[in-house]
Amino acid sequence: MTGTVKRPNVLVFIADQLRADHLGFAGNTVVRTPNLDRLAAGSMVFTEATVTNPTCMPNRASLLTGRWPSAHGTRCNGITMDPDAGNMVKALSCGGYLTTAVGKLHHQNMGWDFEPVQRAEIQATNPLLLDPQAADARTRLRPAGWDKWEDSQAHNERFIPLPEDYYGYRHVDLVIGHGDRPGGHYVHWARERGLDPLAVGGAANATRRLDSWDQVYQSAIPAELHPSSYVGERAVEHLAEFASAEDPFFMFVSFPDPHHPFSPPDGYADLYSPDEVQMPIGFWQDHAKSPPHIQHMFEHRGEPNEDPTMTFAADETQFRQALAAQYGLITLMDEQIGRILAALEENRLAEDTIIIFTSDHGDLFGDHGLMLKHFSHYRAVTNVPLTIKVPGKPAGTSDALVSTADLAPTLLELTGTRHYRGIQGVSLVPLLEGEEASVRDALIIEEDQPFGLPGLPGPVRTRSVLTKGGRLTRYFGTDISELYDHVTDREELNNVTGEPKFKELQDALTAAMLEGMAALADQGIAPTASA
């Protein structure tokens, strides 16, 4: 009699707003990430992993669904992920996996409003977006509160357990937001230990902060009560529970760091000196050929956007101080990952567990003189770390063009789980097994925003196509475009759009963009008859 084959466990680590080269195994010689370096040494490392969208909610939804934002519907932050959509976690749960999430999910809105200037522009250009009477069908037909499970204010007031089947997760330990005083279940965990992060954390209570940018400061929250420590502790506790379970587990461990505000605690705030960080190529570049909204930022260098999440042109002090602080947060996260990996070994689960490490998107972090994200598709914000360790599969490095959307079909195949309709990503198993060197020739990157910036009026619809040969970006509804030749200009310092010398490249990338966008038409609903 043949016994059933044991299905592998799955452990997914995801960082928030971490670019691919801010890690030791990616060649960074300053930041210390020994635990992630060891994990990468036993994994397949994908150096050209690319987001479907360089924004939190859209790309996190793509990770779960295996679909691009234009198909799954969460086109920008502020659009709650459809709870009825097919996704990888639901499929795994239905297939018998114990599904757990620890940390930041951001599948639903956190409750932050638009800035006044953004709201005014939306009201002027597309007022139906702000009209509660014009809500879409899923809002009208669902019970009140269906999209409020991650509302930060509600969680601050009382402990709110999430539903037992939250996007497929059977259990969630939630963190809402970023920095040293996020909301969610973390707040109540810290309060039980004698500290209220909402009262003690934040720039106003910081022991030290940067005067020119309130997103850089030393937190008054001690390291042992930091959100990253909460994520590490809860993940370790779940691994002990899984050790005695008969069913395999899927655990999504999502750190809210190193997303800004860059606010490391004592012991990590001084790990790195602003003087030792390296200035990126292009920090002082001439932006004469850059899009108008980028040029406008440099006319106001050193002035952060009134929306603290938006791209701006930083001065050297802001960059150096922020990077030293971010490196401290990365090392703190690395230590917690090491703690979780040690628990995996101690509970004798490591040999049967697939381990993934990635990020939801990058951060410009000084490249081209810019900081943060939005309204730009430079490599720093679209390229993310991705390592996949599969028991029995060889370690190595791949420069194949792969997408966040590829993780869902990859894990479904590796776990022998039934697929669902509408998946647009492709399985990376042929790359993991060394059977293929690539899975595609071109990748589409999407970005939609209901508001714009000076020099780029909203609403904004940006599409990029990326190949080994270059990148073409179109800002639809305007005559703005970007073209970079990656053979001669890997750092994307010279926008050559419209130049006769690069017409062949531009024509080829335009054709690839057309084919790529057509391929992303939604096919999740099947016909039931010929007519």
As a whole number of angstroms, the distance between CA 442 and CA 458 comes to 27
Give the distance from CA 438 to its chain's centroid: 23
Which neighbouring-strand residues pair with 383? 50
Question: Which of 315, 215, 325 has the alpha carbon at shortest distance from 271?
Answer: 325
**Measured distance CA(62)–CA(69) in Å, rounded:** 7
Global confidence as pTM = 0.96
The sign of the CA dihedral 49, 50, 55, 58 is negative
d(CA 520, CA 444): 9
Q: What would you report as the CA-atom Rg of the chain, rounded to the nearest whole angstrom?
A: 22
d(CA 127, CA 129): 5
**What's the length of the chain?**
531
- Give yes or no for a cis peptide into 261 (omega within 30° of 0): yes
Gap between the Cα atoms of 165 and 248, Å rounded? 17
pLDDT at 4: 60
Q: pLDDT for 262-319, tens place per residue?
A: 999 999 999 999 999 999 989 999 999 999 999 999 999 999 999 999 999 999 999 9
CB 6 within 8 A of CB 96: no
Nearest residue to 226 via CA among 252, 262, 190, 253: 190
Give residue 6's pLDDT: 84
DSSP letter for 130, please.
Answer: G
Q: How far apart are CA 272 and CA 386, in angstroms?
A: 25
What are residue 210's phi and psi, to 5 degrees?
-90, 120
The verdict on whether omega for the bond into residue 54 sits within 30 degrees of 0, i.e. cis, is no
Could you tell me the two tokens for 308? 């603290």
Q: Check whether the bond before 308 is cis (ω within 30° of 0).
A: no
- What torsion do the CA atoms of 13, 19, 22, 25 make, to the nearest 10 degrees? 60
Nearest-angstrom CA–CA distance, 40 and 371: 27
> What's the pLDDT score for residue 526?
85
Non-local (6+) Cβ contacts of 435 within 8 A are none
CA 386 from centre of chain: 11
- Which positions of the chain have pLDDT values less than 50? 1-3
> What pLDDT is attached to residue 140?
74
Closest alpha carbon to 100 in 190, 7, 10: 10
Half-sphere exposure of 253 (CA within 13 A, CB side): 30
CA torsion, points 271, 359, 154, 78, in degrees to nearest 10? 130
Q: What is the pLDDT of residue 67?
A: 98
Q: How many CB atoms lie within 10 A of CB 6?
A: 8
Q: How many CA atoms lie within 13 A of 355 on its CB side?
A: 25
